Amino acid sequence: MAHLETEIQSVKQRFGIIGNAPMLNNAVRIAMQVSPTDMTVLITGESGSGKESFSKIIHALSPRKHGQFIAINCGSIPEGTIDSELFGHEKGSFTGAHEARKGYFEVTNGGTIFLDEIGEMPLGTQARLLRVLEYGEFIKVGSSKVLKTDVRVVAATNVNLLGKVEDGKFREDLYYRLNTVPIYVPPLRERGNDVELLFRKFASDFAERYKVKPITLTPEAKDLLLKYRFPGNIRQLKNLVDQISVLSPEQKEITADILRNYLPQERTLPALYNTASTQDISEREILYKVLFDMRKDVTELKRIVLENINNPARAAQIVKENPELFSEVHAAKPEEPVLLNINSGQSATTEGDEEVQDVTHETAEDSLSIEKKEKELIMRALRKNNNRRKYAARDLGISERTLYRKIKEYELED
């Protein structure tokens, strides 16, 4: 164990990784262990957390260390040219292709390719990449000749790829092929005192570069620094240190008040949203989650009403056991169970069979109409695309997996 810890410290020092957080050391350990193999690695973590450093560790400690290493940001290459960049093209294959060009997979034969922001890769390019991973083969743009390559792929993402798979924006088979060995790089806010170590390192680097005395922090400023969440992670911290060093040249000891002037105000998220396990959350994603949870609650309420409409005693028990779902309903007597009118948002007592029948009919009709419309949409999409499910799923805005399940559910196999 002591020998392993020594090796981890040595690797961190070699690649300029500052910090001793357990999750950081674990990420370094996994990178070291997977390096001697040719296994595909998927590095996940927030933007600015230092994912590229781990791809360099994997390459430098591997048998491919004498081969070429290329880092490519998939999000910065236009969709129309990414295939040419990765796989090359033949002369005249498209407008502007005045001569043949080798792609990165051909140039890096025997080396390692780091594909950053893999979640931004277009679906067509994903299919080409999958072929490289499975068979080591690719075809240049404008060519029909199959070429071979021996390249190790290390990918990274700062988004939830499984969510993209569910949305039909990322291939499921490619996700599992890339995720052979996962490495999670923790954000700065989960690394404890590493924040202070990095602050001192950046302050020292700046002072050495410009021949000035490095800035330091008072105890109160340290506490403030450690409490800040740093949504931009290491990149944001480095920019902060450089900014303070330049704009506060007379103040070599930074107080909490001075530091507070340089820290951007953080936007707080609704309490209902669990930020501990979510990365790069946008306000739109929060809204989607809220709406999705509301839809699930309404669906559950309808199910409860329909299942228990003919069992008043059971309905009263459910109301009693689920006060959070029936918060607007007053306590009911056993002989007068309360039923929730889903469509009106009001409560009503069952004074006669006629009212019960109306609620059942109204809710059932609403449920059936939704299923009917969904079934019709699926049938139209399948007819439009001649039963090619891949394209039908794309038109519907759902994944192929979800479409297969719906086809089976509505018995549309024939």
DSSP string of 46-77?
A: -TTS-HHHHHHHHHHTSTTTTS-EEEEEGGGS
Q: Which of 293-297, 303-307, 350-354, 404-408 shows the highest mean pLDDT?
A: 404-408
What mean pLDDT, rounded, does the chain reach? 82
State yes or no: pLDDT of 171 exceeds 80. Answer: yes
- For residues 395 and 293, the model is more confident at 395
Q: How much is the average pLDDT of 55-60?
A: 97
State yes or no: pLDDT of 318 exceeds 90. Answer: no
Q: Using one digit for the tens of pLDDT, what is the confidence trace for 261-282?
A: 999 876 544 444 444 433 444 4
The pLDDT value recorded for residue 310 is 58
Q: How much is the average pLDDT of 82-97?
A: 90
Listed by start position, the domains of the chain span: 2-186, 191-262, 283-409
Q: How much is the average pLDDT of 12-24?
A: 96
The pLDDT value recorded for residue 352 is 43
pLDDT band at 369 (very low <50, low <70, confident <90, very high): low
State yes or no: pLDDT of 247 exceeds 80. Answer: yes
Q: How much is the average pLDDT of 340-369?
A: 44
Find out if CATH 3.40.50.1820 is the number for domain 2-186.
no
Look up the CATH number of domain 191-262: 1.10.8.60
Helix H or strand E segment including 135? helix 123-135
pLDDT band at 332 (very low <50, low <70, confident <90, very high): very low
The pLDDT value recorded for residue 383 is 85
Instruction: Give the strands of the sheet with 41-44, arranged side by side.
Output: 69-73, 112-116, 152-157, 41-44, 181-184
Distance CA 280, CA 164 (A): 14
pLDDT band at 144 (very low <50, low <70, confident <90, very high): very high
The pLDDT value recorded for residue 391 is 82
The pLDDT value recorded for residue 271 is 42
Q: Record the pTM.
A: 0.64
Could you tell me which of 32, 5, 34 has the C-alpha nearest to residue 20? Answer: 5
